[in-house]
């Protein structure tokens, strides 16, 4: 399907999205906050300062999807490490194989697993220091 850029911000993601939407004359961006995403999860104790931060947003920029989020409070944020390559695909077996190969010699942040938004999501930094996110996206979505 696609390799896409995922930009991570430190609390100013909404401002960045609105700016890029204006620059690239896009439709209104899709935005979901951490508070909206986890509102039904009583087991997850979300800090109050995280509720209005952006968990996920995307813009369609002339046929390419540009994705965004704020880093979760307490997670490290370093300019230069705030860009990941997002591998989005509908072939779950291909994703699993690629994820397994990329994690050799690298560091897994989140194993490839089912989440509330995807049949398979995972993130890692490969042996070359490249940050990757894997997300299964079926053609029906």
* Per-residue pLDDT reduced to its tens digit, 51-64: 899 999 999 988 88
User: What's the whole-number mean pLDDT along residues 34-57?
Assistant: 81
Q: pLDDT confidence of 43, banded at 50, 70, 90?
A: low
What is the pLDDT of the chain when averaged over all its residues? Answer: 87
| Cβ partners under 8 Å of residue 7, min gap 6 | 16, 66, 67, 68, 69, 82, 83
Query: Residue 42 to residues 45, 49, 101, 125: CA-CA distances in angstroms?
Result: 7, 17, 36, 30
Percentage with pLDDT > 90 across the chain:
44
pLDDT tens for residues 121-137?
A: 999 998 878 888 999 98
- Reply yes or no on whether the pLDDT at 46 is more than 80: no
CA 65 to centroid of chain Cα atoms:
12
- Give all domains of the chain, ordered by start, each with its CATH number: 2-136 (3.10.180.10)
DSSP H or E stretch at residue 32? strand 30-33
Give the per-residue pLDDT at 141.
46
Give the per-residue pLDDT at 42.
60
Tell me which of 99 and 38 has the higher pLDDT: 99
């Amino acid at each position: 399907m696609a390799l896409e850029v995922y930009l991570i911000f430190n609390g100013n993601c909404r401002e960045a999205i609105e700016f890029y939407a204006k620059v690239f004359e896009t439709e209104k961006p899709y935005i979901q906050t951490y508070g909206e995403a986890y509102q039904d999860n009583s087991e997850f104790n979300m800090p109050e300062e995280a509720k209005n931060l952006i968990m996920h947003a995307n813009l369609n920029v002339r046929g390419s999807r540009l994705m965004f989020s704020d880093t979760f409070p307490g997670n490290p944020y370093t300019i230069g490490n705030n860009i990941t390559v997002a591998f989005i695909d509908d072939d779950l077996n291909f994703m699993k194989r690629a994820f397994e190969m990329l994690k050799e010699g690298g560091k897994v942040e989140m194993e490839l697993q089912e989440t509330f938004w995807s049949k398979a999501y995972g993130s890692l930094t490969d042996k070359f220091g490249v940050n990757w996110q894997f997300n299964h996206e079926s053609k029906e979505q």
